[in-house]
Amino acid sequence: MKKRKKKNNGLWKIGQIAKEAGVRTSLVRYYSNLGLLEPAEVLTSGYRLYEPRETLEKIRLIRNLQREKPTLEKIKHQLNRTLLTK
What is the domain extent for residue 77?
A: 12-84
- Assigned domain for 78 exists: yes
- Assigned domain for 5 exists: no
**pLDDT tens digits, the chain, 86 residues: what are they?**
444 455 678 999 999 999 999 999 999 999 999 999 999 999 999 999 999 999 999 999 899 888 877 777 877 887 887 766 65
- Assigned domain for 38 exists: yes
Angular region, 46: left φ>0, alpha ψ -120 to 50, beta rest = left
- Assigned domain for 6 exists: no
Within a 10 A sphere around the Cβ of 36, how many other Cβ atoms? 19
Q: Say how many domains are in the chain.
A: 1
- Assigned domain for 1 exists: no
